[in-house]
């Protein structure tokens, strides 16, 4: 077989943000006749002093390591020094943007490099270099600056920086849009990268761990790239669509659904997290036993095809109801049943077009279970 390139997956034709509509008719796009003066998004504008930034950081109020961000140390010492000089000169500064979670913590969406510059200088991690307007400060660390020019450090501490915080009440569609519009990292954020920031906690750690499992890498044949957290979204979708307690809440809005599942995982205790991980590994092993490196693909005589996430959801879900013993004893039979399944036009339609629709999700899950998901098949 001639395989097409790896790290390409087939998603829903509704999986781009630009096509987003909410389950209740859509926040986006706004109607042409909407009164724009009445559109309000719950963003709070305020100012924060450098002194408060340091105090809030020490109190754990900031989340400084959202994984979609560039490295916290992306700025070199010259760039950091120039920002400190801007504070001293009282130059106008761009807003910070924070996402406020339900616990009151502030996730840094835009401004991580500036915040890091302030904290690194406060911690004496670098000396000022390359200053043009205030060259006599070059070579000074914070402690030396404070000792020699205490009034200068006091001016830095008193400097107020404007910021916006996105409140928890902001609808998810709008939150996604804000993240995309204001992040200055230079790369368009993917949905799971945004989720990973909004729902930091047990779920983000678990998805990272699961996506790095040897079993997951093997059955996908490294066909889902980890670079933009596509692998973590694939894991999340397997978990979400294979559990009835999650699935009954699915209303056709994939983003909202997956976010809710991450919120529920964040509330699990250690034992529940351990059970979820063990079940995931056990199911991957069953899939591996039958499909090897060809799982979740619609194969034909020309190619084994790319990984299809809708197929992945349904096959993973079906295998949760098959015992490991049955898999071991009926590998060939299961492979034949799978070939019959992917020739079923109703199933093919449910995994190729409009795959987020409730009817399509129900159809593919039920058909996969009918063909594969019983020890009596």
Written as tens digits, the pLDDT of the chain (377 aa) is 334 344 456 655 444 333 333 333 334 555 556 555 555 677 888 999 999 999 999 998 987 765 655 445 678 999 999 999 999 999 988 888 888 877 788 888 788 889 999 999 999 999 999 999 999 999 999 999 999 999 999 999 999 999 988 887 777 767 777 776 776 554 566 788 888 877 878 999 999 999 999 999 999 998 898 878 899 999 999 999 999 999 999 999 898 899 899 999 999 999 999 999 999 999 999 999 999 999 999 987 778 888 999 999 999 999 999 999 999 999 999 999 999 999 999 999 999 999 999 999 999 999 999 999 765 54
Q: Which of 119, 143, 169 is the last residue of a domain?
A: 169
**Is residue 255 located within the same domain as residue 143?**
no
**Is residue 365 located within the same domain as residue 224?**
yes
**Is residue 291 located within the same domain as residue 220?**
yes
Whether omega before 29 lies within 30 degrees of 0, making that bond cis, reads yes
**Is residue 259 located within the same domain as residue 357?**
yes
In a domain, 309, yes or no: yes
In a domain, 353, yes or no: yes
In a domain, 99, yes or no: yes
Question: So what's the pLDDT on residue 88?
Answer: 94
CB atoms closer than 10 angstroms to residue 261: 24
**Is residue 236 located within the same domain as residue 338?**
yes
Q: What ranges in the chain are assigned the alpha helix state H?
A: 50-58, 77-88, 112-122, 142-148, 150-158, 172-182, 191-198, 202-211, 214-219, 230-241, 244-247, 254-266, 270-291, 309-319, 324-329, 331-341, 345-352, 358-372
DSSP for residue 98: E
In a domain, 176, yes or no: no
Range of the structural domain that residue 222 is part of: 211-372
In a domain, 267, yes or no: yes
**Is residue 123 located within the same domain as residue 233?**
no
**Is residue 226 located within the same domain as residue 361?**
yes
**Is residue 264 located within the same domain as residue 348?**
yes
In a domain, 76, yes or no: yes
Q: Which of 169, 192, 224 is the last residue of a domain?
A: 169
**Is residue 215 located within the same domain as residue 359?**
yes
377: closest CA among 306, 279, 290?
290
Q: Which of 169, 194, 223 is the last residue of a domain?
A: 169
**Is residue 78 located within the same domain as residue 222?**
no
Number of domains forming the structure of the chain: 2
Question: So what's the pLDDT on residue 156?
Answer: 94
**Is residue 288 located within the same domain as residue 360?**
yes
Question: So what's the pLDDT on residue 305?
Answer: 85
Question: So what's the pLDDT on residue 75?
Answer: 87
**Is residue 287 located within the same domain as residue 216?**
yes
In a domain, 350, yes or no: yes
Instruction: Give the 3-state secondary structure of residue 304.
Output: coil
In a domain, 220, yes or no: yes
Instruction: Give the pTM.
Output: 0.69
């Amino acid at each position: 077989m001639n395989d097409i390139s790896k790290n390409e997956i087939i998603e829903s034709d509704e999986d781009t943000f630009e096509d987003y509509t909410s389950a209740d008719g859509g926040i986006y796009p706004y109607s042409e006749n909407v009164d724009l003066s009445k559109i309000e998004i719950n963003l709070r504008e305020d100012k924060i002093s450098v002194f408060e930034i340091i105090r809030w950081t020490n109190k754990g109020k900031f989340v400084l390591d959202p994984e979609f961000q560039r490295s916290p140390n992306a700025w070199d010492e010259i760039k950091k020094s120039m920002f400190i000089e801007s504070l001293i000169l009282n130059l106008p500064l761009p807003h910070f943007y924070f996402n406020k979670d339900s616990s009151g913590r502030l996730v840094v969406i835009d401004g991580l490099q500036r915040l890091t510059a302030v904290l690194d200088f406060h911690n004496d991690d670098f000396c000022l270099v390359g200053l043009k307007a205030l060259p006599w400060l070059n070579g000074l660390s914070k402690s030396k600056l404070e000792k020699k020019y205490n009034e200068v450090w006091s001016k830095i501490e008193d400097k107020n920086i404007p910021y916006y915080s996105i409140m928890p009440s902001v609808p998810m569609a709008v939150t996604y849009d804000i993240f995309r519009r204001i992040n200055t990292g230079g790369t368009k954020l993917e949905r799971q990268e945004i989720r990973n920031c909004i729902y930091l906690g047990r779920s983000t750690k678990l998805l990272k761990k699961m996506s790095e499992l040897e079993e997951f890498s093997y059955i996908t044949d490294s066909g889902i790239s980890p670079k933009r957290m596509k692998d973590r979204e694939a894991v999340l979708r397997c978990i979400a669509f294979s559990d009835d307690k999650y699935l009954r809440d699915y209303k056709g809005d994939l983003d909202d659904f997956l976010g809710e599942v991450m919120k529920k995982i964040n509330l699990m205790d250690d034992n529940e997290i351990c059970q979820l991980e063990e079940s995931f590994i056990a199911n991957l092993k069953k899939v591996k036993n039958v499909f090897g490196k060809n799982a979740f693909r619609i194969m034909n005589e020309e190619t084994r095809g790319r990984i299809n996430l809708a197929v992945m959801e349904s096959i993973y879900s079906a295998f949760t109801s098959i015992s490991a013993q049955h898999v071991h004893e009926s590998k060939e039979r299961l492979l034949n049943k799978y070939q019959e399944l992917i020739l079923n036009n109703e199933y093919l339609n449910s995994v190729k077009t409009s795959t987020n629709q409730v009817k399509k999700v129900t159809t593919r899950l039920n058909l996969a279970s009918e063909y594969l998901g019983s020890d009596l098949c």
